[in-house]
Amino acid sequence: MDFSNRYFRWLALVLRIALGGIFIYAAWAKLRDPWELYALAINSYEVLPLWAVELVARTLPWLELLIGVGLIAGIGLRIWSFAVSLMLAVFFALMVRAFAKGMQISCGCFGGTGDIISKWTLLRDGSMLAGSLLLTWMAFARKRQAGPPASAVPDPAPDRIPV
């Protein structure tokens, strides 16, 4: 697939801005409230000890903000797109686990008192994960397609003249 064509460049731009915007909004929604509310949402998943819950609640929103800004800036896209995919994959796996266990808990996606995990929240986060994976694939594939610098590519042999 040729990821350097105009259609894919626009798609990548839309994905970058959408995911970046969502991550910046998610970070803001968490940072505007006391960290304890986001910690409560993380704690309700019952996967981390309380000391780790506090650490994640205090640091993750800043990481989301950094990733969001990185995606929108578009510099070092391979790093940011990989980071966003990894983060969304972890979030999605935890949400699927909680849903499968029948836990009626807030997803914590946009702060402490967000939506209760449901098919809708899974669809929303699943779509975001699909978008981020596509963006990551495009970022890495475009880099490969760009290939080595022009000076490193040998000239075609001039003596190969079809007879």
Partner 1 sequence: MKSYAVALVALLPCLAASLGEVDKAKMIGNPGAPVRIELFSDFQCPGCKAFHETLLPVIIRDYVVPGKAYIFNHEFPLPMHPYSREAANLATAAATIGKYQQVADVLFLNQTSWGATGKVWDTVASVLNPAEQKKVQALAKDPAILAQVQQDVDAGKAQNVPQTPTIVVSRGTKRYAFPGPDQGNYVLLRSLIDGLLK
Sign of the alpha-carbon torsion through 131, 137, 140, 144: negative
If one asks whether residue 13 binds partner 1 (CB under 8 A), the answer comes out as no
Measured between alpha carbons, how far is 40 from 32 in angstroms, rounded to an integer? 15
Smallest separation, CB 151 to partner 1 (Å): 59
If one asks whether residue 58 binds partner 1 (CB under 8 A), the answer comes out as no
Measured between alpha carbons, how far is 16 from 94 in angstroms, rounded to an integer? 24
Smallest separation, CB 120 to partner 1 (Å): 14
What mask of x and - would describe binding to partner 1 in positions 70 to 109, judged by CB under 8 A? ----------------------------------xxx---
Closest among 112, 64, 102 to 86, alpha carbons compared: 64
113-132 positions binding partner 1, by CB under 8 A: 113, 116
